[in-house]
């Protein structure tokens, strides 16, 4: 059964029949364009708009309300008297027109009942004059000479004569009056009766156009066809034909809107399938001489005790970036001040017997800055945890000796298992020195030749040749000269590589030409160059990411967190060289495949987060919630998908359900010579309904103790299984506007299986307060909140009101982004002196 939607519009101005006739034709055209029917009741004075599409009815009513009625209101006076009711003249004219109509109808009825002379019977007397009757004919037949009367033609002429003047006047008035579509904001004033047609063509890099048009209905989670949705909302007919979408409609504006929506859908589809945009930035906080960057193993980092990892892969080597300066006296690169000495490697034949023993020199060199964390909280109930609860436990990169202060126990092997032990085995012929070797007993080379030396090595390609044994490389075959192990060594003479060993490709990096002098005429400092370089890279990456997710329907977050930026996938060739800050992104990351990795944890100790929170003002808000990480599905035939359910602490009710979390872009900012770095990330959360199964069924099986916050639950068989639970306590602080700091205490709740007592149901108990704990320090730019809220209820293919410039600032001067970075750098500098003693 078809549903007809109807709306009525009651104007303030009084519209007479004559006035309505001026706009009737254009109103009919507007109804055809909008697929709606428009009528006007002159007695009760209201417009009626009806259509099968509610959107068409609303658009038509808006056109009448905002285009036609304001023009008619011009005839009204300030006192709202004239024009709001029927005047006496109009009343008399209406009465006269009504009287003329009645006379015309009477005359037409009389003429329609008149008979012809041929049909008149002979016995009927024919009147000759008034009061005199004709004589009775004596002959049976009367012959009439002349042309017979055509009463039908006479009747038509009689009807046209009185109505001719009225129709002529109405036509002239209608021609002189302005048309309705002259006041409408549309380009369909000369629309044709036939349907218009447009075509949208998918990009060549879209392999399956049908996949682009498939979505999920946020209301019921069922598959959604974007062609049908866009067609219904734009009053068009959209059909997929191979790699094209045929769009048909009656309005050129509707065709353009439908094509633009499909363009936005394609753009969002491509953006969501791109990898995360990673932008590494390196920053030295103060004015300094020229410095180079060295990748140091995390186990030799002096402030390793401040680095906590969220990942259980303790066998994976991690590195940190340390600045390297030249010694003015010797013009040689000095050892970084935060790089610890390493013990002399034993001969290769002794390493097999000493492999189980962990070197302790690196751990012993770490100064005791803070007391050891309380180990009484180490939960003995970990034996009762299911296997999945150990997947994301925060651990340090290596396990230092338990007697050293400031360390946490780790589950990985000792540092000797991955402290570049093969590097010692590859160079047994090098002499052993008792002093600290910051090159880890390996050849260490510089990318840049010393002043006055030959420039031939600078012509060597930047990309290294793939090799598995760097110890066998002779000095003549290296692209860059090796740094000396001590001051007595001599640089090998730089030579070009033999023709047979030249690489097959050459990578040349052309840096953008920038002025080396500032506005005052002096040279630009290295600090200012790094600021401009980092700002350009950040703005480019975030602009691309924000532009790609503008049409995303869901939750968008732009936040920053303090932590430490680590580096992985390093080869020995990368480790034995020093780099400039401009080469990290374009050469080290892009060409050599080195990956920056943020530890995603500010700290795991209360002794560190407490002094940081003391420098902040008084908190204004505290909340607590459970993050229940589950695997769920709504049909047994579908595969399980990860779903995060957010539940408040005091109310057993799901606040939201995150069915997909995507990190679109991340800015990994390294603050050299500082204990904390930060990461700025742009993340999207695809939300689902919480009032549908299996979430409603699972909610009935949850109970929370209001005193201890411990909870019990049951899994929904074949539909929902709990993987792990996080208990988050958030404290918010207002610093200078518009920034808000949020310190979150995160606890991984241990899960214990309750005895069933023969009832056949498996109940689980979450032991809140007895799990592993860590802390996050996050900073939010609150002016973005209102803009991103418009994406929560965004239509298919629509764009919100905000753009990239409204989030980051103008392209030539992104003030919002600059203020954000300044706030984060200020917090990093405030935290640094807290732990210097």
List pLDDT tens digits, range 274-324.
999 999 999 999 998 999 999 999 999 999 999 998 765 566 889 999 999
95: exposed, middle or buried (C-beta count within 10 Å: 0-12, 13-18, 19+)?
A: exposed
Tell me, what's the pLDDT at 67?
A: 80
Cis peptide before 694 (omega within 30 of 0): yes
- Residue keyed to tokens 């000792």: 414
What is the mean predicted confidence (pLDDT) over 582-609? 93
Confidence class of residue 183 from pLDDT cuts 50, 70 and 90?
very low
How high is the mean pLDDT of the chain?
Answer: 75
493 burial via Cβ count (<10 Å: 0-12, 13-18, 19+): exposed
What is the structure's pLDDT at 43?
Answer: 74
Is pLDDT at 215 greater than 70 in this prediction? yes
Higher pLDDT, 172 or 67: 67
Q: Is it the case that residue 474 has pLDDT exceeding 80? A: no
> Which residues partner with 333 through β-bridges?
326
- Mean pLDDT is lowest, of 75-89, 412-426, 695-709, for 412-426
Confidence of residue 72 (pLDDT cuts 50, 70, 90): confident
The model's confidence at residue 387, banded by pLDDT at 50, 70 and 90, is: very low
Cβ atoms of 206 and 675 closer than 8 Å: no
Q: Which of 72-81, 379-388, 646-655, 765-774 is predicted least confidently?
A: 379-388
Q: Which long-range contacts (CB under 8 A, 24 or more apart) does 149-154 make?
A: 149/116, 149/117, 151/111, 151/114, 151/116, 154/111
Is 496:456 a contact under the CB 8 Å cutoff? yes
Domain edges within the chain: 1-112+152-189, 196-272
Section 216-238 average pLDDT = 83
Q: What confidence score (pLDDT) does residue 434 get?
A: 34
pTM above 0.85, yes or no: no
Asked if residue 398 has pLDDT above 70, the reply is no
Sorting pLDDT into bands at 50, 70 and 90, what band is 399? Answer: very low
The whole-number pLDDT of residue 116 equals 45
**Band of pLDDT at residue 82, cut at 50, 70 and 90:** low
- What local confidence, expressed as pLDDT, does residue 83 receive? 59
% of the chain exceeding 90 in pLDDT: 43
SS3 377: helix
CA 35 – CA 250 distance, rounded (Å): 8
Choice between 716 and 152, residue whose per-residue pLDDT is larger: 716
Q: What is the CATH architecture assignment of 196-272?
A: 2-Layer Sandwich (3.30)
Using an 8 Å Cβ cutoff, are 345 and 437 in contact? no
Q: According to the model, what pLDDT value does residue 624 have? A: 95
Q: For residues 507 and 149, what is the distance between their CA atoms, to the nearest angstrom?
A: 105
DSSP character at residue 311? -
Cα separation, 768 vs 755, in Å, equals 19
pLDDT at 608 over 50: yes
Q: Is the pLDDT of residue 221 over 70?
A: no
Lowest mean pLDDT among 85-94, 440-449, 666-675: 440-449
Whole-Å CA distances, 291 to 175, 329, 678: 82, 16, 21
Does residue 541 carry a pLDDT above 90?
Answer: yes
Q: Which residues contact 490 (CB under 8 A, 6 or more apart)?
A: 484
Higher pLDDT, 556 or 29: 556
Q: Which of 1-10, 588-597, 792-801, 816-825 is least confident?
A: 1-10
Strand, coil or helix: what is 617?
coil
Q: Which residues pair with 482 in a beta bridge?
A: 445
pLDDT band of residue 411 (cuts 50, 70, 90) is very low
Reported for 341-350, long-range contacts at CB under 8 A and 24+ positions apart, including other chains, are 341/365, 341/435, 341/436, 341/437, 341/438, 342/300, 342/419, 342/436, 342/437, 342/440, 342/441, 344/432, 344/433, 344/434, 344/441, 345/424, 345/432, 345/441, 347/428, 348/424, 348/425, 348/428
Phi-psi region of 806 (alpha: psi -120 to 50; beta: other; left: phi over 0): alpha
Task: Give Cα separations from 124 to 141, 503, 657, 733, 755 (angstroms).
Answer: 13, 127, 97, 112, 118
Q: What is the pLDDT of residue 64?
A: 86
361-378 mean pLDDT: 38
Confidence of residue 525 (pLDDT cuts 50, 70, 90): confident
pLDDT tens, residue by residue, 751-788: 999 887 667 688 999 999 999 999 999 999 999 999 99
Query: What pLDDT, on the 0 to 100 scale, is given for residue 462?
Result: 34
């Amino acid at each position: 059964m078809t549903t007809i939607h109807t709306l009525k519009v009651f104007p303030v101005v009084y519209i007479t029949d004559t006035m309505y006739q001026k706009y009737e034709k254009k109103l009919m055209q507007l109804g055809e364009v909008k697929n709606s029917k428009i009528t006007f009741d002159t007695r009760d004075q209201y417009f009626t708009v009806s259509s099968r599409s509610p959107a068409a009815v609303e658009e038509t009513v808006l056109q009448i309300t905002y285009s036609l009625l304001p023009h008619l209101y011009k005839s009204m006076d300030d006192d709202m008297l004239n024009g709001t009711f029927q005047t006496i003249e109009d009343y008399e004219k209406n009465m006269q027109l009504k009287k003329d109509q009645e006379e015309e109808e009477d005359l037409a009825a009389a003429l329609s009942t008149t008979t012809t002379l041929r049909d008149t019977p002979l016995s009927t007397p024919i009147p000759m004059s008034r009061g005199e009757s004709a004589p009775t004919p004596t002959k049976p037949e009367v012959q009439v000479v002349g042309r017979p009367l055509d009463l039908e033609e006479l009747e038509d002429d009689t009807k046209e004569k009185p109505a001719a003047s009225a129709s002529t006047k109405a036509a002239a008035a209608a021609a002189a009056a302005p048309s309705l579509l002259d006041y409408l904001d549309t380009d369909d004033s000369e629309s044709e009766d036939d349907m218009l047609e447009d075509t949208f063509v998918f990009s060549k890099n879209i392999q399956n156009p049908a996949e682009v048009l498939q979505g999920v209905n946020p209301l019921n989670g069922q598959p959604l066809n974007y062609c049908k949705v866009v067609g219904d909302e734009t009053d068009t007919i959209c059909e997929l034909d191979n790699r094209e979408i045929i769009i048909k409609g009656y309005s050129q504006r509707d065709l353009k809107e439908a094509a633009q929506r499909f363009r936005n859908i394609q753009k969002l589809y491509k953006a969501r399938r791109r990898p995360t945009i990673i932008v590494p930035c390196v920053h030295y906080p103060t004015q300094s001489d020229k410095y180079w960057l060295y990748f140091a193993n995390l186990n030799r980092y002096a402030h390793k005790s401040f680095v906590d990892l969220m990942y259980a892969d303790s066998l994976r080597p991690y590195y940190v970036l340390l600045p390297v300066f030249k010694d003015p006296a010797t013009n040689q690169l000095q050892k970084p001040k935060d790089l610890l000495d390493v013990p002399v490697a034993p001969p290769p034949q002794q390493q097999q017997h000493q492999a189980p023993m962990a070197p302790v020199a690196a751990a012993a060199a770490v100064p005791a800055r803070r007391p050891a964390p309380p180990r009484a909280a180490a939960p003995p109930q970990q034996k009762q945890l299911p296997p999945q609860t150990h997947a994301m436990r925060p651990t340090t990169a290596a396990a230092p000796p338990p007697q050293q202060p400031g360390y946490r126990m780790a589950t990985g092997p000792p540092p000797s298992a991955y402290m570049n032990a093969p590097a010692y085995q590859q160079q047994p012929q090098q002499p052993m020195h008792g002093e600290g070797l910051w090159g880890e007993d390996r050849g260490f080379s510089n990318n840049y030749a010393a002043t006055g030396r030959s420039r031939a090595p600078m012509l060597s390609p930047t990309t290294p040749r793939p090799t598995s044994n760097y110890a066998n490389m002779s000095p003549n075959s290296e692209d860059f000269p090796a740094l000396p192990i001590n001051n007595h060594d001599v640089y090998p003479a730089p030579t070009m590589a033999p023709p047979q060993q030249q690489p097959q490709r050459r990578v040349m990096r052309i840096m953008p030409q920038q002025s080396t002098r500032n506005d005052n005429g002096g040279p630009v400092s290295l600090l200012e160059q790094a600021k401009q370089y980092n700002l350009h890279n950040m703005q480019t990456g975030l602009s691309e990411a924000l532009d790609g997710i503008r049409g995303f329907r869901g939750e968008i977050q732009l936040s920053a967190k303090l932590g430490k930026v680590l580096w992985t996938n390093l080869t020995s060739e990368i480790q034995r060289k020093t780099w400039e800050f401009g080469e990290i992104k374009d050469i080290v990351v892009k060409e050599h495949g080195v990956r920056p990795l943020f530890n995603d944890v500010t700290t795991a100790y209360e002794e560190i987060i407490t002094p940081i929170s003391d420098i902040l003002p008084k908190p204004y808000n505290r909340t607590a919630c459970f993050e229940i990480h589950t695997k769920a599905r709504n049909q047994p035939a579908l595969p399980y998908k990860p779903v995060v359910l957010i539940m408040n602490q005091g109310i057993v009710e799901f606040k939201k359900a995150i069915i997909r979390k995507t990190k679109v872009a991340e800015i990994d900012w390294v603050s050299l010579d500082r204990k904390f770095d930060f990461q700025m990330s742009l993340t999207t959360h695809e939300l689902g309904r919480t009032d549908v199964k299996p979430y409603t069924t699972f909610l009935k099986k949850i109970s929370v103790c209001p005193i201890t916050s411990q909870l019990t639950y049951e899994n929904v068989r074949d539909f929902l299984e709990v993987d792990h639970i996080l208990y988050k306590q958030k404290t918010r602080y207002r610093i200078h506007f518009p920034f808000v700091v949020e310190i979150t205490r995160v606890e991984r709740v241990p899960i214990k299986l309750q005895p069933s007592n023969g009832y056949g149901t498996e109940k689980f108990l979450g032991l809140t307060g007895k799990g592993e704990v860590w802390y996050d320090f996050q900073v939010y730019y609150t002016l973005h909140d209102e803009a991103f809220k418009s994406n929560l209820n965004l239509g298919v293919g629509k764009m919100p009101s905000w753009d990239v410039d409204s989030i980051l600032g103008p392209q030539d001067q992104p003030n919002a982004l600059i203020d954000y970075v300044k706030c984060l750098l200020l917090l990093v500098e405030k935290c640094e002196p807290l732990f210097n003693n």
